[in-house]
């Protein structure tokens, strides 16, 4: 019996890419591959790429250049590029970097085994189609190996919003929702293998409208069905659009005990003028009203957001509007970025903001967000939280997990094991985590 071939995957970008990488590894397992964390041992290298950030393609080409010596030493080493850069660049990747053997888009990776077989004939393989078949149906059944206590589960892909700065509609395609029964089956399978918390993923996850019993289901209905899965203790979802925060989803935040009190709800800007230029189709006021309704349903919810500064034509007054919105909301955490052009998007050809101005705005915005995060974390000291422990910490006897608010919490608890959920009293707040002590039963 021949030794299994080894697959090294490097994942860039969002949680959906993490999920996709897992499924790629599982798919290639059926073709005789096992995963390795050592690139030097690999028989195949896959870069699962993201196209959201600035110069994403150039960073991929730079990474590929580092594999030249490996390829020279082992000409049979297979190198592939997957994900959104693969979708956007296509055959250009092979032209610019001839050591690449395989390019596959995010909707076609279920075809990886067939593509790998093509490589064995000495040909290169390219697939950036948006196939009619459901890739999730074509993927092999997930192996029954034991899993950690948390997992991602993609329920929706693509985007129909066409924000002026975003490439997702072009690289991931239009919005598609997976059927509810298949999601529930996958969730039950994950729970059987040790998962206690599932995060539902989608480019616009709260636009979910998958087919289910009685017609299309909303995300809220899916969450309620998942809450009936024995052994599944926690449910989260990301990333949401403000315009898709439906009444039943807001109500679920107040009523579903397994839905965690954490919500990532990107706004991008606090200026109505810039929001219109971004094609966001909501206003600062409508966003704040959604926040008000969510907090009325779940007063202790921790909010997260996304912000872009230096968007084309953003004035000082526009930026100040964003700062005012941040002050009004009070974010527990947030992600903020300086605008970068994405080729092919409407905003790419508009007059750009001076880089020094954009840098200064980003610095000021991040300072405000950091203050809010620190204030909220400090307010946790003395409170009791529920922690799902995931792994040992750096200190002897220490365990690390996540609270219901997604704060990292470390506790000295030698008898606790990954997957345990316990009540913890927070004793200290540091930059990126909280410390606590177990509360005796």
Q: Which residues are annotated as a binding site for [4Fe-4S] cluster?
A: 14, 50, 84, 159, 163, 166
Do the Cβ atoms of 218 and 179 come closer than 8 Å?
A: no
Place of tokens 């899965």: 229
CA distance 64 to 61: 5
CA-based nearest residue to 370, from 291, 307, 438: 307
Residues 6+ apart with CB under 8 A from 427: 381, 435, 436, 437
Q: Cα angle vertex 121, ends 117, 123, to 5°?
A: 95
Contacts of 424 (CB under 8 A, 6+ apart): 384, 385, 386, 387, 403, 409, 411, 436, 437, 438, 439
CB-based contacts of 366: which residues, under 8 Å, 6+ apart? 336
Distances (CA, A) of 74 to 40, 45, 46, 183, 283: 10, 12, 16, 41, 55
**What's the rounded Cα separation, in Å, for the pair 205 and 154?**
9
The CB-side HSE value for 214 (13 A sphere, CA atoms) comes to 4
Query: What whole-number distance in Å separates Cα of residue 131 and Cα of residue 351?
Result: 37
Neighbours of 97 (CB within 10 A): 18
User: What's the CA dihedral at 382, 383, 384, 387 to 10 degrees?
Assistant: -100
Question: What are the backbone dihedrals phi and psi of residue 268, each rounded to the nearest 5 degrees, phi first?
Answer: 80, -40
Nearest to 156 by CA among 106, 220, 210, 110: 210
The distance of Cα 5 from the centroid of its chain, to the nearest Å, equals 29
As annotated, the binding site includes: 14, 50, 84, 159, 163, 166
């Amino acid at each position: 019996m021949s030794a299994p071939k080894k697959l090294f995957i490097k994942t860039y970008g969002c949680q959906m890419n993490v999920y996709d990488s897992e499924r790629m590894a599982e798919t290639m397992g059926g073709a005789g591959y096992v995963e390795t964390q050592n690139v030097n041992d690999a028989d195949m290298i896959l870069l699962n790429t993201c196209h959201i950030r600035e110069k994403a393609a150039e960073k991929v080409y730079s990474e590929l250049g580092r594999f030249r010596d490996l390829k020279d030493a082992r000409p049979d080493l297979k190198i592939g590029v997957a994900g959104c850069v693969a979708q956007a660049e296509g055959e250009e990747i092979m032209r610019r970097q001839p050591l690449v053997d395989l390019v596959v888009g995010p909707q076609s990776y279920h075809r990886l085994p067939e593509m790998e077989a093509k490589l064995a004939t000495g040909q290169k393989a390219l697939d950036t189609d948006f196939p009619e078949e459901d890739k999730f149906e074509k993927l092999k059944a997930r192996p029954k190996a034991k899993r950690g206590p948390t997992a991602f589960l993609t329920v929706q892909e693509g985007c129909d919003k066409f924000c002026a700065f975003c490439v997702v509609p072009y690289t991931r395609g239009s919005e598609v929702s997976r059927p509810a029964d298949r999601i529930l089956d996958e969730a039950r399978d994950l729970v059987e293998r040790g998962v206690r918390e599932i995060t539902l993923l989608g480019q616009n996850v709260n636009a979910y409208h998958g087919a289910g019993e009685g017609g299309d289901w909303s995300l809220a209905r899916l969450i309620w069905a998942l809450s009936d899965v024995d052994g599944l203790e926690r449910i989260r979802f990301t990333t949401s659009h403000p315009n898709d925060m439906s009444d039943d989803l807001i109500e679920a935040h107040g009523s579903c005990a397994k839905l965690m009190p954490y919500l990532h709800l990107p706004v991008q800007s606090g200026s109505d003028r810039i929001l219109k230029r971004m094609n966001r189709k909501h206003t600062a006021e409508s966003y704040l009203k959604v926040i008000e309704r969510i907090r009325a349903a779940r007063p202790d919810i921790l909010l997260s957001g996304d912000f872009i500064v230096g968007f084309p034509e953003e004035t000082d007054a526009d930026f100040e509007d964003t700062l005012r919105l941040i002050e009004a909301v009070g974010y527990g955490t947030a992600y903020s970025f300086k605008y970068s052009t994405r080729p092919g998007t409407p905003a790419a050809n508009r007059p750009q903001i001076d880089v020094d101005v954009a840098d200064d705005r980003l610095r000021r915005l991040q300072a405000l967000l950091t203050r809010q995060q620190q204030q909220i974390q400090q307010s946790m000291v003395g409170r009791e939280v529920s922690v799902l422990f995931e792994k040992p910490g750096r200190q002897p006897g220490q365990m690390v997990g996540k609270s219901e608010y997604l704060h990292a919490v470390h506790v000295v608890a030698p008898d606790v094991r990954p997957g345990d959920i316990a009540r913890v009293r927070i004793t200290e707040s540091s930059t990126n985590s909280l410390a606590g002590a177990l509360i005796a039963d």
